[in-house]
Amino acid sequence: MKIILLGPPGAGKGTQSAKLTEIAKIPALSTGDMLRTAVREGTKVGIEAKSFMDSGKLVPDEVVIKIVKEFLESDACKDGCILDGMPRTLKQAEMLEQLGINIDVALSLDLADSEIEKRMSSRRVCPVCGAVFSMAVNPPKFADVCDHCSAGLIIRDDDKPETVRKRLAVYHAETEPIIGYYRARGKLKEIDASVSIDETTKALISVLGIG
């Protein structure tokens, strides 16, 4: 089963993708994580992507599709996979279709902008192992220290309030139309993401008919 997770930044796509990976036993790809790794490692893709990401804009479609294509065609995906943060534009959705990649279900995590701004201002990430914390609902045991590897936690550059507002504007203009694209194909399932992490996971499991 090929699943895509749609929804605004901060709706919990990364968190739910990790849960679904465990439950459905299929791998997940987060284009945001892959791009951040590329930036950290200073690869060609990373150098190209950095300025777009830091300013809250989308990385060009051609750059992203190259990364995703490799993953989707790999052996790891033969039993299915989860795409988190991709497609992000109608063009990317069309590119997937043109590559012959058939999406079975598009799960849309719905959350109001005001709640997103609140959530993102409380997010802290570990720059070493990638763990994500929320100072509001899932705080680290010791303030600003990663529970898993003890590195100092940071605020992602793109979680700063001005950038969050810019990312939301980009989401509404460029990504939201994808919801209609998958609805028209009968593949859209909408989930209320304003509830707790566990309740959202339960709703996803029920919609997918797994677990």
Q: Which of the residues are catalytic?
A: 13, 88, 123, 156, 167
Between strands 123-125 and 81-84, the pairing is unpaired
CB-nearer residue toward ligand AMP: 156 or 203: 156
Between strands 123-125 and 132-134, the pairing is antiparallel
Q: Is there a contact between 16 and 201 (Cβ–Cβ < 8 Å)?
A: yes
Residues lying near ligand AMP in the complex (CB under 6 A) are found at 9, 31-32, 35, 52-53, 56-59, 64, 85-86, 88, 92, 158, 167
Shortest distance (Å) from residue 71 CB to ligand AMP: 12
CB-nearer residue toward ligand AMP: 122 or 202: 122
Shortest distance (Å) from residue 34 CB to ligand AMP: 8
Q: Is there a contact between 114 and 37 (Cβ–Cβ < 8 Å)?
A: no
Shortest distance (Å) from residue 123 CB to ligand AMP: 10
From 178, 195, 165, select the one nearest 9 (Cα to Cα).
Answer: 165
Shortest distance (Å) from residue 72 CB to ligand AMP: 13
CB-nearer residue toward ligand AMP: 92 or 200: 92
Integer Cα distance of 42 and 21 in angstroms: 28
CB-nearer residue toward ligand AMP: 91 or 187: 91
Close Cβ partners of 157 (under 8 Å, ≥ 6 residues apart): 53, 54, 163
- Which residue number places its CB atom closest to ligand AMP? 32
Q: Is there a contact between 17 and 5 (Cβ–Cβ < 8 Å)?
A: yes
Close Cβ partners of 49 (under 8 Å, ≥ 6 residues apart): 35, 38, 39, 59, 63
